[in-house]
Structures are given as C-alpha cells and as structure tokens.
Amino acid sequence: MFLQRFILVTSVVATGLMGCNANQSTRSDMTADPATIDIAASSTNIVAGEISTISMRSENTLGRDALVEWTTTGGRITTEANGTIARARFDEPGAYTVTAKLTLDGREVDSDSVTINVRPVG
C-alpha cells in the first residue's frame, strides 16, 4: 500500500511539473525579451601601441548555447574570460571599430560596436 501511494504522488508531481514547464515555455516564447549584447571600452581614445580593454555584457542568454565573436577593422584582438573581455591593440593612428556579435543556438541575434580613436605616439 505504501509503495502504491508513493508511485501515485510521484506521478502527480511529474505531471504537474511537465505541465508547468510546457506553460512556462509557451509563455516565454510569446513574451520573451530578446537576447542582447552590450560592449564598453575602458578607453576610446588611446595612443598607438596601447591596449584598450573592452568588456561585454549580455542579457537573456542563460541556459542557451551562446557564442561571442569579436572583430575589428584593424589592429589585434585577444579575448579572455570566455569571450566576455577583449583586449584590442592598434599600432597605427586612426579610428577603428571593434564589434562583438552574439550568436545563440547557431543564429546571430545581436551585435554592438565601439569606435577606438588612436593617436600617434608623442
């Protein structure tokens, strides 16, 4: 008798949770906030050869297969902390754009850019 009650309770709980997840998933599909990415540079005005650190913040990506891709119109970029921080170095004066693209589940969903102005040394 005890075993039968335990099975019955487990079935009710499992059914209740399944229904809750189904409703929650449907509701989130209808009212979900889009995933976003924002980047900010430690400095947007640097001298040639200096490094600007750019940090990334994203929203609404929890539990999804997220990837950040960094690009620049010149210079070199290295990333750390799973792509949430990029360090950009530019050896020549000019204005350069650094862009971070957010891909979720294999699809690009947002991007953000910052312009770094590089002055000559001296």
How confident is the model over 109-121, as a mean pLDDT?
97
* Band (86; pLDDT cuts 50, 70, 90): very high
Q: Which two tokens stand for residue 14?
A: 């499992």
What percentage of the chain reaches a pLDDT higher than 70?
74
Q: Do residues 52 and 46 make contact, with C-beta atoms less than 8 angstroms apart?
A: yes
pLDDT at 64: 85
pLDDT at 32: 60
How confident is the model over 21-45, as a mean pLDDT?
65
- Bridge partners, 110 (sequence order): 102
Question: Per this entry, what is the length of the chain?
Answer: 122
How confident is the model over 49-70, as a mean pLDDT?
93
The answer to whether residue 34 scores a pLDDT higher than 50 is: yes
SS (H, E, C) the chain: CHHHHHHHHHHHHHHHHHHHHHHHHHHHHHHCCCCEEEEEECCCEEECCCEEEEEEEEECCCCCCEEEEEEECCCEEEEECCCCEEEEECCCCEEEEEEEEEEECCEEEEEEEEEEEEECCC
Instruction: Give the mean pLDDT of the chain.
Output: 79
Q: Which fold has domain 36-119?
A: Immunoglobulin-like (2.60.40)
- Phi then psi for residue 64, to 5 deg, are -115, 160
The answer to whether residue 82 scores a pLDDT higher than 90 is: no
pLDDT at 44: 97
